[in-house]
Structure 1
C-alpha cells in the first residue's frame, strides 16, 4: 500500500543528490541480463537470480531515466499546488463559464429556442452547443457524446479556445432554424406581435 504521508523536502533533495552523483545514463542490461551497463557499455553492477534477473535488470536499467522523470514531476506538482494555494489565499476564483449568442432580443418569447451557448469544458477548452448538440469545427452539429465516449479525435474537432468558440457561435446564430422557421421569420413575427400589441393612436394627437 502507498504511504499517504507526504514526501519530506529533505528526502526529495536526498533522492536528487543521489541521482546527480550516479553515473550518467542511459543504462542498459547485458544480453544475458546478468549485468547493468552504462551508456558506453561499461560494467556498473552484476547480479544473479534466475527467477527474477530479467525483471530486476529492466527495473534497474530504467531507473536511471525513470527517477529523474518522477522527481521532476514531484517538483512540478508541488509548484502547481503552491500556486493554487496562493490564488486561494488571495480570494475566491471567479470565472465565466457560459456565454449565450442569439440573434433574437433577450425579451423575445422565442429567444431561448434560437439560443446558442458557448460553455467551458475545462483545460481552457470551450464547446459550442445548442440544446443537446455540439458544433464541430467544420460547421456541422453532432449529438453531444457521453464523457466516456469522447475520444481525443472527437474532442479535437469539438473543443476550441474561447475566441474561436465565440466566432463559430456568431457565425452559426443567423443560421438557426426552429421547426422550419428561420431567424428572419422569428424577427418578423416578433415585430408583428409588437405592432399588434401597440395601442392605436388617437387621430389629431
Structure 2
C-alpha cells in the first residue's frame, strides 16, 4: 500500500465494503482462560465479564479474533502488545466507519467551498 497517494472515492468504497462485510459491532476485548487457550486475549461481540471464563463457560461463537493464545502457542506476537492490538482491532470496528463518514463529510465541504470560490 502506497500511503503517499491520495485516497480515492473507490478506495473509500473498498474499505467501507470490508467494514460492512465484517461481523457487526460493537466489538470488545475479552480475557478468557482455559486449558486449551491459556491467557486468551480475544475480540468478541460480547463484553468482558472480568471473570476470565474457561471453556465451555463462554460462547465461542462470540469470538471474532484472538491476539494471544499462549498454550499451545498459537497466537503470541513477539512485541507482547496483544492487549494493545486487541483494543485497536475492537475499536477499529466502530472507528473505521466513522472515519469514512468524516472523510466524505469533509470532501463534501471542500466541494461546496470550491464551488463557492468558482462562483465568486
TM-score w.r.t. the length of structure 1 is 0.40
- Listed one character per residue, the Cα deviations across residues 1-33 of structure 1 (whole Å, up to 9, x for unaligned) are xx4532011111000111111111110011256
Q: Are residue 44 (structure 1) and residue 51 (structure 2) matched?
A: no
Equivalent residue number for residue 23 of structure 2: 23
Q: Map residues 94-109 of structure 1 onto 2, 5 A cutoff.
A: none
Unpaired runs of 5+ in structure 1?
Answer: 92-205
The alignment's TM-score, normalised by the length of structure 2, stands at 0.67
Q: 1:62 aligns with which of 91, 97, 110?
A: 91
CA contact (8 A) 1:36 1:43 kept: yes
Give the total of aligned pairs.
90
Give the root-mean-square deviation of aligned CA atoms: 2.1
Instruction: Report the counterpart of residue 53 of structure 2 in structure 1.
Output: none
Q: 1:12: which partner in 2? A: 12
Give 1 or 2 for the bigger CA radius of gyration. 1
Distance 2:29 2:43 in 1: 5
Spell out structure 1 runs of 4+ moving beyond 3 A: none
Query: C-alpha displacement at 1:69, in angstroms?
Result: 1.0
By how many angstroms is 1:84 displaced? 0.5
Q: Distance in 1 between matches of 2:112 and 2:98?
A: 21
C-alpha offsets along residues 149-202 of structure 1, whole Å, 9 cap, x if unaligned? xxxxxxxxxxxxxxxxxxxxxxxxxxxxxxxxxxxxxxxxxxxxxxxxxxxxxx
Q: CA deviation at 1:54?
A: 0.6
- Contact (CA 8 Å) 1:26, 1:65: kept in 2 or not? yes
